Structure 1
Amino acid sequence: MNQNRLEQLLKFLADDPNDPFTLYALATEYRASDVEKARSYYEQLLAEHENYVGTYYHAAKLYEELGQQDVAARIYKKGLQISRQEGNMHAFSELQQAYNKMMGLDYEDD
């Protein structure tokens, strides 16, 4: 974790506590050092900024890594719905691949 970057992000958050990009950046910054803080920022994004598509992949991955596949699956599915609704087919494709992999539905032809 880069302390200077974290301090700057916290200043941004103080200036605008509802900015989804700042919340997302904080979740990403905390991801490696404080999983609970990262999770709380992802949860805030999911609750308050439903259309912030970038959240879904990373939040679901975090839950997947924590062994909470049911929560991860729910987040992937919601992300698929939102990304399609927003017309973000790149995010849709990434979410679909990650969901399929988690569910054991990815396979490669030999």
Structure 2
Amino acid sequence: MDRIAQIKQMLETSPNDSFLKHALALEYIKLNNDTAARQLFEELLAYEPGYTGSYYHLGKLLERQEEKEAAIAVYEKGMAMAKAANERHTYNELQSAYEELVY
């Protein structure tokens, strides 16, 4: 069974598991299926906005889709959430991506 099928099977019993949704979105990115990945990241962050690791990947996805303003907004929200959660590493990653895009 491939990883996507495995993760989907696990999601059947835990449909709101943010870790599984994040993992599935990353698998879709590997397959260049940005549409499915974006949908999962957006769902995940709507349900659990404190899942800070997803902001970076969603922002990068939006950059690839040439949606600069949307990517900036995602990085900004992610930085605010990471700062509130005192997640320095995540904050620094988001800040770097943000600065690279804006400056």
Match of 1:31 among 18, 29, 46: 29
* TM-score normalized with structure 1 length: 0.90
Match of 1:22 among 20, 33, 44: 20
For 2:73 and 2:48, the matched residues in 1 are separated by 16
After the TM superposition, which parts of structure 1 deviate over 3 Å for at least 4 consecutive aligned residues? none
Which structure 1 residue ranges, 5 or more long, are not aligned?
A: 105-110
CA distances 1:42-86 after superposition (whole Å, capped 9, x unpaired): 110121110001000000000011000010000000000000000
Deviation, 1:32, is 3.0
- The one-letter code matched in structure 2 to 1:75 is V
Greater helix percent: which structure? Answer: 2
Question: What is aligned with 2:102?
Answer: 103
Identity of aligned residues (%): 35
Q: Report SS of the residue matched to 1:12.
A: helix
CA RMSD, 1 decimal: 0.9
For 1:29 and 1:98, the matched residues in 2 are separated by 21
Question: What is aligned with 2:54?
Answer: 55
Q: Report SS of the residue matched to 2:93.
A: helix
Q: Does 1:87 align with 2:77?
A: no
Deviation, 1:41, is 0.2
Question: What is aligned with 1:46?
Answer: 45
Q: Does 1:13 align with 2:19?
A: no
